[in-house]
Amino acid sequence: MDLVLTTLNARYTHASLGLRCLRANLGVVRERSIIREFTISQRPVDIVEALLAESPKVIGIGVYIWNTRESLEVVRLLSQLAPEVKLVLGGPEVSFELAGSEWLELADHVITGEGEVAFAKLAQSLLEGVEVPAQIIPGALPDVKTMVLPYGEYSEEDLAHRVVYFEASRGCPFSCEFCLSSLDEKVRNFPLEAVLAALARLLDRGAKLFKFIDRTFNLSPKVSHALLDFFLERQTLGLFVHFEVVPDRFPEALRSRIERFSPGALQLEVGIQTFDAETAKRISRPQDNAVIEANLRWLSSTGAHVHADLIVGLPGEDAASFGRGFDRLVATGPAEVQVGILKRLKGTPIIRHDAEYAVVWSHEPPYEILSNRLIPFAQMQRLKRFARVWDLISNRGHFTNSVSLLWSRSGSPFTSVLHFSEWLNTRASLGGVALARLAELFLQYLVEQGHDRDATGLQLAKDFSRPGQHVPVVLQPWVKTVNAELKKSLPARQARHAG
């Protein structure tokens, strides 16, 4: 193929919507193009071999925060091995702060911002042999009313084995300083009829996993109602739909629709980020915390899987303030609380606080905060371990019945998990602890904290009693008791056939 569009995804189940948007809008040169996707676990030299096997004239590469290191090595190899091939880069990681970067030394062209319009023009010129003098090309905003929607670019294999990324709108009305969406000009909605028609075609082709990347799904009642109604009318076994929602906008009409979804079919990502009012104001994120808490409690009572986000290291928030916010969020009952570490995304205005708060950032992707005036390096490292351990014992769903034992006496999930994470860090590698070993250490810790061994072991055994789950050796003494309790809870006919 003359034109190869490529990127390195974080894992195979991810599929690049950006590449598909570009190809769908290539116009007359679309048939001369192909999409080739890889993952960051693959060797750059193998990726380059596969790309050059297509004998391309132009290669377009999407560069993101999760693939920066690997993409740079791919670009280095391509520039060495095939200098005659035109390299065009795009994506958030090359859209800002380019001055003096190695990207400019290696790439023929860089398109900044949204690329559908600019890339189509550039690709046509390059394939026709027309010299394009500009190296950095600003991406013109495409007209979402006339854009070709990209969903026909998903293959049958994509629909069978990967998440379908979808967008009903672009842009964000808010100005949160840590987020790239704060740089967007406005919210632009794709034509609703075209969106619904595209979704219907995907469902007809067998798609079941949909992840909407819209920043503010519930901003427009007309759009959110139409999309929820669409999926409610088509609920089937295995259907899963993910939306990112604004936490303080859940009027009754929206609530009534959410309540009608089958348990587990709907996942709602709720960006809280901080419960500290002054911090929220400082980063241009106005929010009504009382309303948010009430909405979260209601959402957690529905069948929706609620994923709530909180950030460590925001300017002006110390560890104690973060901890209070964490406890406050956990109390609302979401299925997951994702603890993120503040990142310095290129182009975002969060750096305006650097001098006042003595912020030190990592220069390596994903550009996490290392320390600031309120959270010194050693304490920031402890908080990062806290985030890792919370993910291991809570978000991954292995210890559903027993995780709350950690704070059953102190009343503070933050303090208790922080203490456990420091204890665990001296006994295991947090980056690679096996689940069976984690269960063993979890039991040991709880018993050391004064919990009854048999009662605690029984709770842990219940966590591993789901069908198909391997029970760690340390929990085997309590398995028979769990099975007996389960058998008693079953109807008589089922109990006769239970193990």
User: Does this model's pTM top 0.85?
Assistant: yes
Least confident of 60-64, 313-317, 325-329, 394-398: 394-398
| Per-domain boundaries in the chain | 3-138, 154-373
| Per-residue pLDDT tens over the stretch 412-457 | 999 999 999 999 999 999 988 999 999 999 999 999 999 999 999 9
8-state DSSP, 394:
I
Q: What is the average pLDDT score of the chain?
A: 94
- pLDDT exceeds 90 at position 481: no
- pLDDT exceeds 60 at position 498: no
CB 202 within 8 A of CB 151: yes
435 in helix, strand or coil?
Answer: helix
Q: Is 432 left (phi over 0), alpha (psi -120 to 50) or beta?
A: alpha
Q: What does the CA dihedral 446, 452, 453, 454 come to, rounded to 10 degrees?
A: -140
Average pLDDT over every residue of 216-239? 93
9 in helix, strand or coil?
Answer: strand
Can you name the residues that pair with 4 across neighbouring β-strands?
A: 34, 59
Least confident of 174-178, 239-243, 335-339: 174-178
| Per-residue pLDDT tens over the stretch 137-151 | 999 899 999 999 999
Please name the residue that has the structure tokens 């795009």. 90
DSSP 90-124: ESGGGSS--TT-HHHHH-SEEEES--HHHHHHHHH
Q: From CA 96, how far away is CA 352, in angstroms rounded?
A: 16
Query: Per the structure block, which two tokens stand in for 181?
Result: 């969406």
Q: From CA 43, how far away is CA 41, in angstroms rounded?
A: 7
Q: Could you give the maximum distance between any two Cα atoms of the chain, in Å? A: 79
Q: From CA 496, how far away is CA 204, in angstroms rounded?
A: 41
Q: Which residue from 365, 433, 442 is spatially nearest to 401, judged by alpha carbons?
A: 442
Q: From CA 293, how far away is CA 324, in angstroms rounded?
A: 14
The pLDDT, as a whole number, for residue 486 is 61
- pLDDT exceeds 80 at position 495: no
CB 2 within 8 A of CB 58: yes
Q: Confidence class of residue 185 from pLDDT cuts 50, 70 and 90?
A: low
Q: From CA 250, how far away is CA 256, in angstroms rounded?
A: 10
8-state DSSP, 30:
G
Q: How many CB atoms lie within 10 A of CB 324?
A: 15
Q: From CA 481, how far away is CA 479, in angstroms rounded?
A: 5
What class, spelled out in words, does domain 3-138 have in CATH? alpha beta
CA 384 distance to own-chain centroid: 18
Residues in the chain: 499
Q: Which residue from 41, 138, 126 is spatially nearest to 86, judged by alpha carbons?
A: 126
CATH numeric code, 154-373: 3.80.30.20
Q: How many CB atoms lie within 10 A of CB 473?
A: 10
